[in-house]
């Protein structure tokens, strides 16, 4: 296997949580890369909170598709055979009803209590958190894909979030380019590290307290 690093590694590892037939909601940006790394034999149905199940990615140049079928970012998307569109009322009833197997989101901050902040940056204008609050509350499993530190090198996995919260205690897993961290009742457990990354490096770049088991696995 060619070396996988950075965002590709995050997407590759996150996609391994998916099971064949799952309905998954992939947040704007990095989460959509998971579709490039689906394990062999795993086929998922992509849900979007604006009212569709079965999104199949952006059309190729010159390929016709319905311009009214868009993803959560408003980008035109293909719809796979068997896919369907519906109104926002039905969409959020579906999400809140617990029918989404996995919701994958990005984050500005996550803390050791499983709290998530992913919609507002101080000094920036934001319309609101969109459907993220519902997606965290309604999905059976919530996975956060994020770089371990921000552009200034400051940890994004904190003892306590400082930004306005999207969800309280809703995060199950954090997948970064350094590690896979599982939130349990006991706290944040370091389950896996990336190739060449030591436990000590992960700890040094994480503000939150981590539980270190006797054996830490590999992301690949």
Residues tagged active-site: 49
* Cα–Cα distance for residue pair 220/217, rounded to 1 Å: 9
Burial of 154 (0-12, 13-18, 19+ CB in 10 A): exposed
Half-sphere exposure of 19 (CA within 13 A, CB side): 5
Torsion from C-alpha of 122, 124, 125, 127, nearest 10 degrees: -70
Contacts of 31 (CB under 8 A, 6+ apart): 11, 14, 104, 105, 106, 145
């Amino acid at each position: 296997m060619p070396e996988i690093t950075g965002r590709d590694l995050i997407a590759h590892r996150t996609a391994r949580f998916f099971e064949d037939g799952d309905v998954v909601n992939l947040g704007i940006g990095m989460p959509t890369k998971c579709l490039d790394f689906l394990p062999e034999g795993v086929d998922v149905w992509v849900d979007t909170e604006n009212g569709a199940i079965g999104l199949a990615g952006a059309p190729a140049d010159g390929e016709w598709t319905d311009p009214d079928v868009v993803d959560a970012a408003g980008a035109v998307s293909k719809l796979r055979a068997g896919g369907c569109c519906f109104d926002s009322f039905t969409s959020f009833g579906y999400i809140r009803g617990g029918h989404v197997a996995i919701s994958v989101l990005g984050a500005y901050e996550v803390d050791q209590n499983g709290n998530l902040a992913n919609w507002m940056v101080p000094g920036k204008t934001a319309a609101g958190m969109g459907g993220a609050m519902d997606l965290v509350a309604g999905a059976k499993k919530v996975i956060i894909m994020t770089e371990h530190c921000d552009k200034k090198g400051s940890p994004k996995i904190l003892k306590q979030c400082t930004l306005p919260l999207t969800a309280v205690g809703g995060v199950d897993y954090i997948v970064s380019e350094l590690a896979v961290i599982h939130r349990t009742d006991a706290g944040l457990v370091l389950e896996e590290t990336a190739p060449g990354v030591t436990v000590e490096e992960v700890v040094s770049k994480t503000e939150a307290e981590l539980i270190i088991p006797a054996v830490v696995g590999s992301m690949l």
